[in-house]
Structure 1
């Protein structure tokens, strides 16, 4: 092992300090002494050549370098778990079309978790009951679901990706587009002049892939009502409090009190896909989930 390599127990300590927010709390969680945790972190900092945590009276917080280190630590530890599961599966003759076991952690934004994932997880459970799928709903703002994967907190993310023609996957990840869906004009059914209504919006809507189109529409006002999620937007529109521009997945199960109108040939689209790390893309459990997700293409 090279002098700068970190052992698994050192990686676990870095993750524990970041998660617990301090050396004492991490030591308690790991069943170690505080001095052992401090010594390990200092050793990791020396090996990596960077300060990983700021120390203070209220605890410890990762530096920018520490955030990167902890992200890699989570990913390496997760890969070790995946390796053990895959090796056990290979020993039982289960890899490559047979039964697969292990955990897969999924980060998904709200509408994907509600309307896209359930069918894939149902088939995954039927074909591979030994896979333990865990879903975390993450707001698709900032780093979003892809950030959860990069930080090692998820194995696979259901993410919104830039639209055609390239639909690039964020750096450091691999993935593919699962579906492209258009945006629509959503307003109370039967309203005589729906474009006169105030705009209802939510923070996750209108990402960079639709901003240019949005800015070119002089009939769309600034949002005067902003809600927490797309479900609340749909409820507000249904009750007659405004109109909205929403993607197709968010309109799944829209009530009859809502009218959905096409925005025309230049309407914006968004791409929904999956992202994972190159290493975990080769693990049996993640591969099995990707197969089920690809069957949802449409």
Structure 2
């Protein structure tokens, strides 16, 4: 097989992102016919159809999905190679750090971490994307080559997702939130929101016969707290989501057996050796955590 060239990898990524040859051509400053020809060349080299063509554009086949994931990783490693080679000569750390984080970590943990990182390494440029921590969550962004490091919910009893490495950062307990002044918060309807959690949290939840079926399901912890403040019910949320809790919401501890979630970072083995990612991990590990968050036990 003839190797794919970097410009061909960029075309595959652009077609996947734009879902059409025309959109990829516009993004890359090429003609649509040149993009189409390049994709056919890539398919011939790989020996598989990478995109389904149709009236509604181009959609990656299963082979194409895998090819695009590898293309993203390879292209970013090439960028990292160039940045680290330049840094070796000048003694500086430069380049872009792509970070995926769920909202509460991005709002309450990352700002101080990135401020210290900027003071030590002003040549690093962080790009933070807020990713809902559901399904594949932030780990999926790293696995798919869209992020260098993800702040993710870890399962203490399970290995990291295939192809990734992880490290523990902090642990936080869950608490009951309910309208302030309510006499029987345990009897309120449940306002629920989906999130990744560990096996301990899932086991605890399954044993609580007082938790009713959800009346309202929402996708965001801020919206959950707002609904609780309006008296729509109670909810059970992790402590990091309760920083800056709105007026009208009371927080009740769930006792010594309260569920907890373990939060850490995930990255790839290759990027774990990159200078910029290593610098970010050092700052994350030395972070001063907000109240209610405890450093993770080894």
Q: Which residue of 1 aligns with 2:281?
A: 290
Q: How many Å apart are 1:235 and its aligned residue?
A: 2.0
Which position in structure 2 is the counterpart of 1:185?
176
**CA distance, structure 1, for counterparts of residue 44 and residue 98 of structure 2:** 32
Q: What is the match of residue 9 of structure 1? A: 7
The answer for the alignment partner of 2:292 in structure 1 is: none
Q: Which residue of 92, 117, 134 maps to 2:110?
A: 117
Q: Distance in 2 between matches of 1:205 and 1:72?
A: 26
Is structure 2 residue 101 aligned with structure 1 residue 108? yes
With the length of structure 1 as denominator, give the TM-score of the two structures: 0.91
**Cα gap change, 1:172/1:206 in structure 2, threshold over 3 Å: closer, same or farther?**
closer
Q: Which residue of 2 aligns with 1:97?
A: none
- State the partner residue of 1:138: 131
For 1:157, the equivalent position in structure 2 comes to 150
**Contact 1:108/1:158, CA 8 A, preserved across alignment:** yes
String of CA shifts for 1:75-96, please: whole Å, max 9, x gaps: 11011111111110001123xx
Give 3-state SS (helix, strand or coil) of 2:215's partner. Answer: strand
Cα deviation, residue 45, structure 1: 1.7
Q: Aligned partners of 2:196, 2:75: CA distance in 1, in Å? A: 34
Matches within 5 A, 1:270-281: 270-281=261-272
Measured in 2, the distance between the counterparts of 1:205 and 1:146 equals 11
What secondary structure, in the 3-state scheme, does the structure 1 residue paired with 2:48 have? coil
Task: Give the length in aligned residue pairs.
Answer: 289
Report if aligned partners of 1:123, 1:292 keep a CA contact under 8 Å in 2. yes
Which residues of structure 2 form unaligned runs of 5+? 290-294
Tell me how far 1:106 sits from its aligned partner: 0.7
Check conservation: 2:134, 2:196, Cα contact below 8 A. no
Report the counterpart of residue 245 of structure 2 in structure 1.
254
For residues 195-245 of structure 1, what are the alpha-carbon distances to aligned partners after superposition, in whole Å with 9 as ceiling and x for unaligned? 111111112265665223212111000110222311111222233331111
Work out the CA distance in 1 between the residues paired with 2:198 and 2:281. 25
Contact kept, 8 Å, 2:153 with 2:196, in 1: the verdict is: no
Q: Which residue of structure 1 aligns with residue 209 of structure 2?
A: 218
Runs of 4+ in 1 over 6 A off after TM superposition: none
1:241 matched to 2:239? The reply is no
- Please state if 1:24 is matched with 2:15: no
Q: RMSD over aligned Cα, in angstroms? A: 1.8
**C-alpha deviations, 1:7-34, integer Å up to 9, x for none?**
1111011011111211122123222232
Q: Distance in 2 between matches of 1:245 and 1:15?
A: 40
